[in-house]
């Protein structure tokens, strides 16, 4: 189990063991472009790899930040139990038997993401609450809201900000009031604050407004969908901006052609720092015991 300590995109990753705090730098092209510092991941490191340097074998299992503390604590507890039950066994033996735990944790983070119990600073469940009023006398309403010491409005325009204090006495924004035409909408982050805000508005405005409806939106579902979505997902572009298929194919072929022409002139540690082109002309390297087609590196499977 590692966290990303440093990265050189397209070149390497420096990983820190979360239990032993030891660091290792691995040669990695693809993941070093995608991962960010402090990300948590499970991986098997081979020393040395085919490049002659430490490498990650068969990809990584990336875990979301919300799982960091419970996963690290669970892993440390399992290792302690293993050491007490298996005297003389090393950490290599522990990590062999803990693979199912790591894999199931990674899989559950995708299919059943762990959602924290979201609360506001008053300890109330987070629930986007919108309270809608029909405005019967806009001038009277605006005058009434302007007299309240709990509401602020910048330069007499835009929304009113409902300010107050939480249960700890800290100043917080309790909600916002928006007036659009004949509708006044109060938005808060809990049902309780919505009820308090409704009482405030009705107490200030009286018959200038009439309550029509209150709606609630659970924040858990949008968060769940965000956690399940790919890290590199992006909103679809308008049709007018999409690249035609034939143009995309030409760009792809051109990319690979340029890459393969450049690839044979890149130095490879497993070839004593020589490039594949040079090594192919050197009988000593061709006959050497360390040479193999795999030593030339890993061919690309995706576009930069």
Question: Among residues 111, 141, 158, which one ends one of the domains?
Answer: 111
Number of folded domains in the chain? Answer: 3
Supply the pTM of this predicted model. Answer: 0.46
Residue 118 has pLDDT above 80, yes or no: no
Spell out the residues 6+ positions from residue 255 whose beta carbon is closer than 8 angstroms to its own: 303, 304
| Cα–Cα distance measured from residue 244 to residue 253, given in angstroms and rounded to the nearest whole number | 14
- Does the pLDDT value for residue 263 go beyond 70? no
Domain boundary among 159, 187, 218: 218
Domain check: are 107 and 134 in the same one? no
The more confidently predicted of residues 60 and 219 is: 60
Which region among 66-80, 107-121, 151-165 has the lowest average model confidence (pLDDT)?
107-121
Identify whether 117 is part of a domain: no
Assess whether 97 and 150 both reside in one domain: no
Domain that holds residue 50: 2-111
Cβ(200)–Cβ(150) below 8 Å: yes
Mean pLDDT, the chain, integer: 79
What was the pLDDT predicted at 233? 43
- 99 and 174 co-located in one domain: no
pLDDT for the residue 138: 93
- Token readout for 123 is 């300890």
pLDDT cut 70: percent of the chain above it: 76
Q: Is residue 122 part of a domain?
A: no
- Crossing angle for the helix pair 68-85 and 99-111, to the nearest 10 degrees: 160
- Stretch 151-159: mean pLDDT: 84
Q: Is residue 176 part of a domain?
A: yes
Residue 55, pLDDT > 80, answer yes
pLDDT at residue 5 above 60?
Answer: yes
Identify the CA nearest to 268 among candidates 230, 226, 232, 297: 297
């Amino acid at each position: 189990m590692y966290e990303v300590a440093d990265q050189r995109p397209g070149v390497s990753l420096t990983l820190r063991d979360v239990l032993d705090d030891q660091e290792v730098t691995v040669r990695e092209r693809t993941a070093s472009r995608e991962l960010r510092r402090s990300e948590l991941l499970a991986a098997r490191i081979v020393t040395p790899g085919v490049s002659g340097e430490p490498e990650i074998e068969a990809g990584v299992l990336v875990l979301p930040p919300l799982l960091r503390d419970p996963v690290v604590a669970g892993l440390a507890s399992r290792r302690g139990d293993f050491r007490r039950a298996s005297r003389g066994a090393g950490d290599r033996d522990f990590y062999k038997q803990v693979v199912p735990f790591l894999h199931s944790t990674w899989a559950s983070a995708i299919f059943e993401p762990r959602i924290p119990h979201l609360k506001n600073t008053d300890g109330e469940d987070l629930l986007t609450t919108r309270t809608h009023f029909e405005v019967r006398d806009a001038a009277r309403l605006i005058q009434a809201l302007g007299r309240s010491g709990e509401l602020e409005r910048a330069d007499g325009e835009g929304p009113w900000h409902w300010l107050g204090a939480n249960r700890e006495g800290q100043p917080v924004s309790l909600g916002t009031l928006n007036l659009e035409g004949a509708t006044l909408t109060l938005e808060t982050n809990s049902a309780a604050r919505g009820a308090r805000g409704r009482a405030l508005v009705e107490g200030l405005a009286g018959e200038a407004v009439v309550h029509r409806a209150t709606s609630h939106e659970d924040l858990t579902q949008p968060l769940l969908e965000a956690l399940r979505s790919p890290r590199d997902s992006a909103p679809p572009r308008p049709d007018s901006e999409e690249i035609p298929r034939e143009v995309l194919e030409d760009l792809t072929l051109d990319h690979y052609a340029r890459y393969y022409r450049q690839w044979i002139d890149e130095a490879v540690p497993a070839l004593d720092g020589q490039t594949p082109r040079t090594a192919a002309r050197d009988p000593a390297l061709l006959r050497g015991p360390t040479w193999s087609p795999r030593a030339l590196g890993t061919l690309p499977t995706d576009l930069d």
